[in-house]
Homo-oligomer: A and B are copies of this chain.
């Protein structure tokens, strides 16, 4: 079962090429935190801008730089089932322990129960490591239903879901629809504490890139029953989380990483550079939240 806190790692670039040395440095710092592992090629990894060979090399590198024992999860879902299986298997050979498979989304109006069950079952049948469903409606405009997750949980190779919605009713419905050993993971740091309260097993959240300590602290305090402490940290994280996701996206997350002592750097085009005012706005929000001094 997948539990604990994971960063969906931002891919560092210098001059539009992957900066493996910066990746090594970031992971080296994250290795000092009590993280469960690393997610490569999630939404915040700018996966859609990477070439196939870059993806494989990225997984190999994260595996290599990662502290031993940490779980490597690779995001390999594409609309094409053939391409998903092929990329997944190459990624597994490069070191991935689990796959994070995005709901297919191009024909969003058709991505109902039967289509999603068909897609995930076919993929899960053909890959050699366990699959985690990845639901992120803000990017896919597809929102998998609890009954679909429940159906997919019957497949022995589908073992969890990362649900990147802030809707706690949906999260609770999913949790109450799947077996206890199916890992429901929170997908955004703004609802980590309520998500754990509803029975989530952990979280894969952009914010972990920039503020791993606070995210881990919510998780550990929750386990220890220190709910007031959880709520205190949670309240501080809501606005910074909005800044590095909804408001400014990956460029905002990378700017925050730069502020917090990690390497963020530039996003790949067509994502654009933030203006000085936008960076200042993020800085203020992080200061007010006492993440920055």
Identify the A interface with B (CB < 8 A).
Answer: 43, 48-51, 78-83, 86, 104, 106-111, 114-116, 118-119, 122, 138-139, 141, 166-170, 172-173, 175-176, 188, 190-191, 193-194, 197-199, 227, 231, 234-236, 238-239, 241-242, 246, 249-251, 268-272
Q: Are A118 and B250 in contact (CB under 8 A)?
A: no
Q: Roughly how many angstroms separate A188 CA and B249 CA in the complex, as a whole number?
A: 30
Q: Are A198 and B109 in contact (CB under 8 A)?
A: no
B residues within 8 A CB of A239?
A: 173
Distance to closest chain B CB from A113 (angstroms)? 10
Partner of A173 from the list B79, B109, B168, B238 (CB cut-off 8 Å) is: B238
Q: Are B238 and A109 in contact (CB under 8 A)?
A: no
Contact sample, A vs B, 11 pairs, CB 8 Å cutoff: A48-B78, A49-B82, A51-B80, A51-B86, A81-B268, A109-B249, A115-B269, A115-B270, A166-B170, A169-B190, A194-B198
B residues within 8 A CB of A169?
A: 166, 188, 190-191, 238, 241-242
B residues within 8 A CB of A199?
A: 231, 235
B residues within 8 A CB of A50?
A: 80
Q: Roughly how many angstroms separate A169 CA and B234 CA in the complex, as a whole number?
A: 9
B residues within 8 A CB of A173?
A: 190, 238-239, 242
Q: Roughly how many angstroms separate A235 CA and B171 CA in the complex, as a whole number?
A: 10
Distance to closest chain B CB from A182 (angstroms)? 14
Partner of A269 from the list B81, B109, B166, B190 (CB cut-off 8 Å) is: B81
Q: Are B170 and A108 in contact (CB under 8 A)?
A: no
B residues within 8 A CB of A81?
A: 49, 268-270
B residues within 8 A CB of A197?
A: 193-194, 197, 227, 231
Q: Are A238 and B111 in contact (CB under 8 A)?
A: no
